[in-house]
Structures are given as C-alpha cells and as structure tokens.
C-alpha cells in the first residue's frame, strides 16, 4: 500500500508541476505583476498617467511610421490611445511582428541559399502567361518576393476531410525508401499520431532518414515535455521550433504554423490538418471537424522539400553538404506529366513581406465571376475587407464559410463582429452548422485554388510561418469548388437582418474584443 500511495502522489505531483503548468503560472505571475505595476503607476500618481498618455502618443507615432500594413497599424493604435496603460504594455511585448535581428539574419541566410536551389523555369512561366496573364502575374510575384517557382508535371489529389488524408497518408508512408520529413504545428498522442509513429519508428530501423519538426507552443498541451528526446531514442531526428519558456516575450508571437509532410522528394502533403485525433473526427471536440488537404506527386514537391530543409537548417544553424540527395529520382516523377500549374509557397514573418495575404488579395481583385473562401477565423484588416466588399459590389459572387461551433469563443466572437459590414455590401457568409471548419481554402472562376495553412486573421497573415499550395488549371480546382458547394449546403447563411437583431450586449462585447484583434 505504501508503495502504491507513493506512486499515486508522484504522478499527482508530476501533473501539478509539469512544464505546461509551470510555464503558464510563470507567465501569469509576470503579467499580473506588470498589470499591477503599470496600473499603480497610472492611477496612484497623476503625473504617471500623463506619462503613459505621452508614451501612447509616442508609440502611435512610431507605429504610423512602421513599414507594415496600415490596417495592422490602426488595429494597434486604437487600443494604445484608448487604454494607454494596457495598450502600451501589450504593444511593447506583443507588437513586434518578428523576432530579433540576429534570428532574422540567420533565417534570411538560409532562405537565400534555398532560392539558389529553386530556379524558375522561364519556359513554364511563358506557358502560363500564354494561357492566363493574371496567373502569370501572381506567379511572378510569388517567385520575386517569395522565392518559390511555378511547376507543371505534378498531380494533385484533394482531400475534403482529415479522415481521407489520414488513410492515404498511411499508405504513402509505407512506401518510403529514403526519407520522410514532417513539420506540424500540433502533434498529439492518440489514434492518428500513434499509427503514424509506428510506421516512422519501423522505417527508421530500416535506415530511412526520418525527421520531425513541431512547434513547441502548438504542442504545449498535447505532447510530454522533451518529447523530442523520446523520438530521438526511436531513431527519429527531431527539432522543436521556438521552445516555450515561462518568460513573457515577443518571441512567442512567431510560431511555426505550417503542415508539411514529404516522402522521398516525390510526394508531399499540405493543408490545414494537424496530427491530432480531432482532425480525423476520432472524437467530437467541436462537433464535426471539417478540414482539407492536398497531396502532390511530381516536380512541385521539391519546393516543399526545400521549405522543410530551410527550417531544419535554421533550427540547426547548419546546412547539409549536398542537397542533391534529397532531390526526387527521375524515375519517381516521370509518370507525372502536365496536370496544370502548381506553386507551393511559404510565408515568413521575418521578411516583412505578407505573401499569404497578397496572394489572397490578388485572387479576390482579379476574380471575374466568383471567389469562394473557407476559413476558421475571419479577423481581417481594412485592406482585405475592402477587397471583399469591392468584389461583391462589382458583381463578383463572394462567399465565405466560417464555423458555427467555436474552438475559441473570443476569436469566434470577433469573427462574427465582421459579418454585418461584409453582408451589408453583398458578401455572402455561411456558418458550418455541423461543427468547426478548420479548412483554409480559396477557389475562383474554375481556374485558381489555394489549399494551405493560412487563416484570415492577423496572426496567420503577419506573425506565423505558413505555407500553401496554389493551383491553376489543375483538376483539383474543380474538386475544391465542389467541396465548397457541398459544405455550403449544410451551412446556415448569415443575413443582414440577422446581424441587425444582435443584442446590444453582444455588440459591445464584439466591439471591445475587436480592439485586440492583432493579438488573436
């Protein structure tokens, strides 16, 4: 009995004093102390309040002169001037959209090396221009400012649900012979990850090079502390992005939100699906979980391989001597001919170029008939809002599907705060009534589609590492559209009349939370 009691107490203490609890408590103490400190200074002494007011004005002037999106500036200036004490404090800790110059220089160094290995085939660009001038402009922008070229000879398989991707993923993992690269925001022990891990462990014993990158904040509540060391013991190389520490820092802003899996350089998976059981509806976390992904086979996979290796090099602060060993073998990609045009691309918060947002804006602005969008969060800046409204005013059929069941009530509340303005001017908004929709899809005019990790919110567009697959003229474009219409059929349309009926209390809460949109 004595030994049993000791074991129970030991397990209890481990639960109470695990890393997550310690980190949360540590940050909570710091935040509480700072709030009390600033509040005391701002209220106990009249001159201190005026000093904070002056600080707010100074920060507002600084923000106005920042080289960032004007709407992002406004979103910070409002809380700073409205609530000088808290607004100034939050900006000083969370307002930086990137990490320090040292980390930025290191990442840029590896990015520049990556670009040398991703040349643009001029002939393919000419072919695209001859078929679609608008698409050529988008591709030229992505290569010039993102560093990622356009490809042909790539097949795309679209998965409308996480369960569909999961089944195919297991099949493709079993075929791996040389290497498997995984980079995910969330990994959680359970049915999905356990099945994947069993294959990875077995493949590692067979000599396959297995590498895993996961975001520490994304896995804070889903993986044990030092889980990377457990993977290393199984022969799986593992790196952790931006390790979460009990110190309140602006570095916490930058997360690796990408979802990439590459097999032998010829097969890649991308989309919104993390490696956790809710993504395959193994249990109903927020009703039915609707998410999407794509599988690429062929030449375009090389870009995803380089995305992963660039992040791996950044975390290692070193690079491989020979990149050619990760290139696909000619016989592996030979079967994939034609198939339209494909551009895998990434977005980094360290280069001051909002690639993800600009790709979306280009699609909206160049649409001729329709733009259909699915997004879990609709927390948009003025530029995105104006683009959506202008398209609708111009007769473009603009439709957006968001969740009906929220995963974060405060974020969902802010999402709904944008409905009234958009619906008033003709944007059609639907909520996915069966549950939570996590997909990040754009499809337009039966010609272009995007499937990836990029949400329509400030964090995705400005603070996170993201990635996506842009498709022109591929068969999968029709699949994305068909899935949107099928999803819309089980969604509830938000009418302008319904927006007007929202109670005054909810309107006030939405307006207040919208002040802090940059932090959501």
Helices and strands (H and E) in the chain: how many: 21, 17
The tokens of 304 are what? 């995803």
Degrees to nearest 5, angle at CA 92 with 61 and 101: 95
The tokens of 191 are what? 């049915």
Choice among 440, 447, 464, 481 that is catalytic:
440
Q: Which helix (H) or strand (E) holds 398?
A: strand 397-403
Choice among 98, 165, 203, 257 that is catalytic:
257
98 is catalytic: no
The three-state secondary structure class of 369 is coil
Asked if residues 494 and 431 have their Cβ atoms less than 8 Å apart, the reply is: yes
445 is catalytic: yes
In the Cβ-directed half-sphere of 150, how many Cα atoms lie within 13 Å?
27
266 is catalytic: no
* 378 backbone dihedrals φ, ψ, rounded to 5°: -125, 75
Choice among 73, 98, 412, 438 that is catalytic:
438
404 is catalytic: no
In 145-272 the beta strands, taken as DSSP E runs, fall at: 154-159, 179-184, 209-215, 237-241, 260-263, 267-271
For the packed helices 84-94 and 46-64, what is the interaxial angle rounded to 10 degrees? 50
Measured CA to CA, the distance from residue 64 to residue 81 in angstroms comes to 13
Contacting residues for 187 by C-beta, under 8 A, at least 6 apart? 193, 212, 214, 219, 222, 223, 274, 275, 276
Choice among 264, 277, 347, 479 that is catalytic:
264
- How far apart, in Å, are the Cα atoms of 98 and each of 146, 154, 216, 353, 460? 17, 34, 17, 11, 13
438 is catalytic: yes
264 is catalytic: yes
The three-state secondary structure class of 491 is strand
So which residues are the catalytic ones? 257, 259, 264, 438, 440, 445
């Amino acid at each position: 009995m004595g030994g049993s009691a000791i074991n129970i107490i030991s397990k209890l203490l481990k639960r109470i004093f695990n890393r997550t609890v310690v980190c949360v408590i540590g940050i909570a103490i710091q935040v509480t102390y700072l709030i009390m400190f600033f509040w005391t200074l701002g209220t106990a002494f009249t001159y201190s309040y005026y000093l904070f007011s002056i600080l707010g004005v100074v920060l507002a002037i600084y923000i106005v002169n920042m080289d960032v999106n004007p709407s992002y500036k406004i979103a910070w200036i409002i809380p700073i001037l409205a609530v000088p004490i808290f607004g100034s404090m939050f900006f000083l800790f969370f307002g930086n959209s990137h990490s320090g110059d040292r980390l930025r220089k290191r990442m840029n160094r590896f990015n520049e090396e990556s670009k040398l290995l991703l040349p643009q085939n001029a002939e393919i660009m000419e072919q695209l221009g001859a078929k679609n001038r608008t698409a050529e402009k988008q591709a030229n922008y992505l290569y010039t400012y993102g560093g990622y070229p356009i490809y042909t000879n790539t097949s795309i398989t679209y998965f409308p649900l996480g369960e569909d991707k999961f089944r195919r993923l297991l099949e493709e993992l079993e075929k791996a012979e040389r290497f498997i690269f995984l980079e995910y925001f969330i990994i959680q022990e359970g049915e999905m990850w356990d099945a994947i891990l069993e294959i990875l462990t077995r493949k590692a014993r067979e000599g396959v090079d297995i590498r895993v990158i996961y975001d520490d904040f994304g896995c804070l509540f889903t993986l044990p502390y030092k889980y990377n060391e457990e993977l290393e013991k199984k022969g799986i190389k593992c790196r952790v992005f931006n390790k979460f520490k009990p110190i309140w820092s602006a570095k916490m802003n930058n997360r690796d939100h990408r979802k990439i899996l590459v097999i032998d350089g010829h097969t890649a998976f991308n989309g919104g699906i993390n490696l956790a059981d809710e993504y395959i509806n193994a249990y109903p976390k927020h009703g039915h979980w609707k998410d999407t992904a794509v599988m690429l086979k062929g030449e375009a996979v090389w870009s995803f391989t380089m995305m992963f290796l660039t992040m791996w090099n950044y975390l290692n602060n070193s690079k491989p001597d020979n990149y050619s060993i990760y290139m696909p073998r000619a016989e592996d990609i030979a079967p994939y001919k034609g198939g339209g045009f494909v551009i895998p691309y990434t977005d980094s918060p360290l280069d001051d170029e909002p690639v993800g947002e600009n790709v979306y804006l280009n699609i909206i602005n160049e649409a001729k008939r329709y733009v259909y969008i699915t997004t879990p969060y609709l927390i948009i800046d003025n530029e995105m809002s104006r683009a959506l409204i202008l398209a609708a005013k111009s007769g473009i059929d603009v439709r957006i599907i968001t969740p009906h069941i929220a995963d974060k009530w405060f974020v969902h509340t802010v999402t709904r705060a944008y409905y009234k303005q958009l619906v008033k001017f003709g944007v059609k908004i639907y909520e996915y009534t069966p549950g939570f929709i996590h997909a990040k899809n754009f499809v337009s005019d039966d010609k272009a589609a995007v499937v990836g990790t990029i949400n329509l919110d400030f964090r995705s567009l400005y603070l996170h590492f993201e990635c996506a697959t842009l498709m022109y003229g591929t068969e999968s474009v029709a699949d994305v559209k068909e899935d949107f219409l099928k999803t819309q059929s089980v969604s509830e349309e938000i009418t302008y009349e319904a927006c007007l009926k929202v109670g005054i209390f909810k309107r006030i809460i939405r307006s207040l939370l919208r002040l802090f949109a940059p932090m959501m």
